[in-house]
């Protein structure tokens, strides 16, 4: 068979991205686990033109909730042309009934254990409606099909070494979507990190780990970093704040070429962190934690969320200065998004605080619920004010200049590139899209109605 795998996308900035930085690993991973007898193409709607005249026997679409309207549009167009269209990913997993209305078949959960069955059934003309993926054991996974990536992505070597996260933050789908914490064999990860068939030196040099919490198993990360060191790569990942207290780990990260860690700091409010079940974050330690990471020359990227119940417009806008004060090199600023499958979604649904907004409002930059201490409009406005201030020329240049003094060369390049990237957006007013101002008539039919839908309950225990 010939198969087109499409990673759906809906524009998140007014004029789109000036540069497309890094692809998700999903599409090229699914392509890699597809048996060799099939021919696969991978399209990222964010950068690639979709081939509606494709001669593929099967169209497979993956997406998260914010991109669902586009995925449904793609499915409709391809089905109109007589194609069989299947889908998987977080949105499908948590919105089974709705998804069945748009696709010929769906894969819930992790794809590895279901994809081969789906392909076999399709080849035999016996496609079922639902394929339930089980948590994959992570052994013998192939190298992602980097050769199928568009040349429009700046960084291309994306890898996943672990899956899952032992924490259970209230807004996160990972504990339910990828239960447990599973590890790939170190030699498999190192094989992928050593892949070098890219045209540009930085694409060979930089390894982007798409893990949710790479460092949590200390024995494993020690082994991995020891094996990674001889490759002399620059690598980045997500981790939790506890790494800052582990000098040995930080030294190993530096020695193996780490240039950046993404920390989910989320808030400067103690009660918000407690609401989020983010007990591992201690506000009084933020500054020393960032300093400990900087001491190794590693850049600190950090995520912050606007819209916790204790937030006010003032506290959200103040975050711009506090982010600067604790020394963050690259902030990522989002609006609280109550994805299905999360504790916060169930809480908001129970207390009648969900807004009937289309899925395009679930892109991390819009408001789909009633905030407690402000209106939805005030939350959106205060987030935009925060975003504009944090990426103003003054704040961005201060972060870049500070990086010249504190960061190693790769980390400095990262800070320079990413701060310039967001500063340029800010300067040319390429703000996060306000979906209220861009209504798409037929997307209204995709408004999620929180009744008569089946979606798994979130995990609640904190490991």
**Residues in contact with ligand SF4 by the rule CB under 6 A:** 165, 167-169, 172, 174-175, 212-213, 240, 264
Instruction: Spell out the residues 6+ positions from residue 375 whose beta carbon is closer than 8 angstroms to its own.
Output: none
In angstroms, the CA 33 to CA 145 distance is 9
With tokens 């003094």, the residue in question is 405
In angstroms, the CA 209 to CA 232 distance is 15
Q: Which is nearer to ligand SF4, 206 or 276 (CB)?
A: 276
Q: How many residues does the chain have?
A: 463
CB of 226 to ligand SF4, least distance (A): 25
In angstroms, the CA 265 to CA 280 distance is 10
Q: Which is nearer to ligand SF4, 103 or 181 (CB)?
A: 181
Neighbours of 19 (CB within 10 A): 11
Q: Which is nearer to ligand SF4, 133 or 175 (CB)?
A: 175
CA distances 198 to 151, 194, 202, 432, Å, are 9, 11, 9, 31
In angstroms, the CA 371 to CA 316 distance is 13
CB of 270 to ligand SF4, least distance (A): 17
Nearest to 40 by CA among 49, 50, 30: 30
CB of 305 to ligand SF4, least distance (A): 10
CB of 90 to ligand SF4, least distance (A): 12
Q: Which is nearer to ligand SF4, 264 or 432 (CB)?
A: 264
Q: Which is nearer to ligand SF4, 30 or 165 (CB)?
A: 165
Q: Which is nearer to ligand SF4, 280 or 381 (CB)?
A: 280
The two tokens of residue 398 are 């201060």
**What is the Cα 6 distance to its own chain's centre?**
16
CB of 214 to ligand SF4, least distance (A): 11
CB of 294 to ligand SF4, least distance (A): 21
Q: Are the beta carbons of 355 and 369 closer than 8 angstroms? A: yes
CB of 460 to ligand SF4, least distance (A): 12
Neighbours of 16 (CB within 10 A): 13
CB of 174 to ligand SF4, least distance (A): 4
In angstroms, the CA 213 to CA 270 distance is 22
Q: Which is nearer to ligand SF4, 73 or 212 (CB)?
A: 212
Q: Which is nearer to ligand SF4, 69 or 338 (CB)?
A: 338
């Amino acid at each position: 068979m010939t198969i087109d795998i499409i990673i759906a996308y809906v524009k998140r900035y007014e004029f789109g991205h000036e540069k497309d930085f890094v692809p998700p690993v999903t599409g090229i991973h699914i392509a890699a686990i597809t048996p060799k007898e099939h021919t696969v193409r991978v399209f990222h709607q964010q950068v690639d033109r979709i081939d509606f005249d494709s001669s593929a026997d099967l169209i497979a679409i993956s997406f998260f909730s914010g991109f669902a309207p586009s995925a449904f549009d793609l499915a409709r167009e391809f089905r109109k042309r007589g194609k069989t269209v299947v889908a998987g990913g977080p949105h499908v997993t948590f919105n089974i009934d709705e998804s069945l209305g748009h696709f010929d078949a769906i894969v819930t959960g992790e794809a590895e254990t279901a994809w081969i069955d789906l392909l076999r059934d399709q080849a035999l003309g016996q496609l079922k409606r639902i394929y339930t993926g089980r948590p994959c054991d992570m052994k013998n996974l192939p190298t992602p099909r980097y050769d199928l990536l568009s040349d429009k992505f700046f960084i291309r070597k994306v890898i996943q070494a672990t899956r899952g996260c032992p924490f259970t933050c209230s807004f996160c789908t990972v504990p339910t979507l990828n239960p447990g914490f599973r590890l790939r064999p170190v030699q498999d990860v190192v094989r992928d990190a050593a892949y070098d068939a890219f045209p540009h030196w930085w694409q060979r040099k930089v390894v982007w780990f798409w893990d949710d919490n790479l460092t949590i198993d200390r024995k494993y990360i020690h082994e991995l970093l020891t094996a990674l060191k001889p490759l002399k790569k620059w690598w980045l990942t997500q981790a939790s704040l506890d790494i800052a207290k582990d000098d040995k780990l930080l030294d190993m990260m530096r020695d193996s070429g780490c240039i950046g860690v993404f920390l989910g700091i989320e808030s400067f409010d103690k009660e918000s962190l407690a609401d989020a079940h983010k007990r591992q974050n201690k506000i009084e330690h933020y500054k020393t934690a960032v300093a400990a990471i900087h001491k190794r020359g590693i850049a600190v990227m950090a995520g912050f969320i606007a819209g916790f119940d204790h937030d006010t417009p003032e506290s959200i806008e103040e975050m711009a200065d506090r982010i600067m004060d604790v020394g963050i090199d690259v902030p990522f600023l989002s609006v609280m998004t109550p994805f299905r499958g999360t504790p916060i979604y169930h809480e908001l649904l129970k207390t009648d605080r969900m807004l009937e907004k289309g899925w395009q409002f679930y892109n991390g930059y819009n408001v789909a619920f009633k905030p407690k201490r402000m209106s939805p409009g005030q939350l959106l406005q205060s987030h935009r004010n925060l975003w504009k201030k944090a990426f103003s020329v003054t704040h961005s240049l201060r972060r870049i200049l500070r990086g010249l003094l504190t960061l190693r060369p790769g980390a400095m390049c990262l800070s320079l590139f990413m701060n310039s990237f967001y500063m340029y957006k800010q300067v040319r007013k390429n703000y996060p899209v306000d979906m209220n101002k861009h209504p798409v008539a037929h997307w209204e039919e995709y408004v999620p109605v929180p009744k008569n839908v089946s979606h798994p309950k979130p995990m609640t225990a904190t490991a």
